[in-house]
Amino acid sequence: MKLSAAAAVFLLLLATTACGPGVATPSGGLMYQVPETPTLRYLSGDTTNIDVDAGGMGSLRMRSTSEATVRFDFARGAEGLQVTAIFEDLQARMTQPMGGAQTASEEDVEGELVFTMTGEGDASVVSMPELRGTAGTLANPHALAYEFFPRLPGDVVNPGEMWTDTISYEAELPDGSVSSSSVITYTLQGDTLVDGQNLLLVTYEGEGEVVGEAVTQGMAVTQTFGGDVEGMFLWDPVRSLMVKGESSHDMDGTVDVPAAGMPPMPMTARGASHVRLLGS
């Protein structure tokens, strides 16, 4: 088989404290609301290394990187909030050892991503932008809707308290499909002072599973992987918004190309991502 056939499906992958009293947003719970300034901009970045044991072909590495500036416009909606997201800047790239790099920019994403979101962060896509080339997988607008904003309890919580949520979605992409499911447990660690701001530190950990399917060069390719995810985010309780976040994932799985006449190839995916509010 040609590596480019297997590599295409990998594009489907790609997201000091002190305890204080119980904390809440102005509405009485730790939850999302329409910000006082309803337009926010976030800078996000991600790097993932994918290693494949291709048997006689040896070990192959692919590397995915992205950096984006995204504008979010918030308004009241039927589910609590309606969010409109626009890629103002995007530089995404996937490299592989036996083929040219795949790239995408903001010019490959035309229009707006619109989704509804409850106060706890449960999202539902309303409309997608028009995607050209590999932007559907490299930009990954579905993940932006479902995974960008952490889940919240919607209630008053105290330091040390935890809440658990399941984040699941399925997406049809120009070159295939992907389904993702993760179970995440969050813990409010307490207050922390950052650049003169009194913020809340929330840590989280859990497990995720992803299945990607594609037909490339006439061959069906199925990739399945799962493993651990962990991270943290800083929350501004006065403005009811996320200020900063970091996460990492450590996953294992296989890629199966039945037409190649070889057993499923083991693979690993290790990566990290970060996000921060601009102009905070």
pLDDT at position 162 is 97
CA distances from 80 to 114, 201, 222 (A): 14, 24, 37
pTM of the predicted model as reported, rounded to 2 decimal places: 0.86
Could you tell me if 149 and 40 are in contact, meaning their C-beta atoms sit under 8 angstroms apart?
A: no
CB-based burial label for 76 (10 Å; 0-12, 13-18, 19+) = exposed
Domains of the chain: 3-15+28-277 (2.30.230)
**Residues ≥6 apart with Cβ < 8 Å to 121:** 32, 149, 150, 151, 152, 165
Residue 135 in contact with residue 144, Cβ under 8 Å? no
| Average pLDDT of the residues of the chain | 86
pLDDT reported for residue 280: 58
* 7-24 residue pLDDT tens: 333 333 333 333 343 444
Q: Which residue has the higher pLDDT, 141 or 2?
A: 141
Check residue 58 and give its pLDDT. Answer: 76
What are 174-219's pLDDT values in tens digits?
778 889 999 999 999 999 999 889 999 999 999 999 998 887 777 8
Of 141, 71, 77, nearest to 113 by C-alpha is 141
**First-last CA distance in the chain:** 50
pLDDT at 135: 83
Residue 218: CB atoms within 10 Å: 7
Nearest to 11 by CA among 83, 99, 71: 99
Side-chain-side CA neighbours of residue 203 (13 Å): 10
Q: Which of 129, 53, 67, 97 is nearest to 275 (CA)?
A: 67
Would you state the torsion angle of the CA atoms of residues 59, 252, 135, 74, taken in this order, to the nearest 10 degrees? Answer: -150
Predicted local distance difference test score (pLDDT) of residue 20:
40
On the question of pLDDT at 165 being above 80, the answer is yes
At CA 46, angle to CA 44 and CA 48, rounded to 5? 175
Instruction: Please compute, for residue 72, the number of CA atoms within 13 A of its CA located in the half-sphere on the CB side.
Output: 28
Cβ atoms within 10 A of the Cβ of 241, count? 21
The percentage of the chain sitting over the pLDDT mark of 90, rounded to a whole number, equals 64
Mean pLDDT computed over 48-71: 89
Q: Are 130 and 116 in contact (CB under 8 A)?
A: no
> What percent of the chain has pLDDT above 70?
89
Q: Write down the pLDDT at residue 54.
A: 80
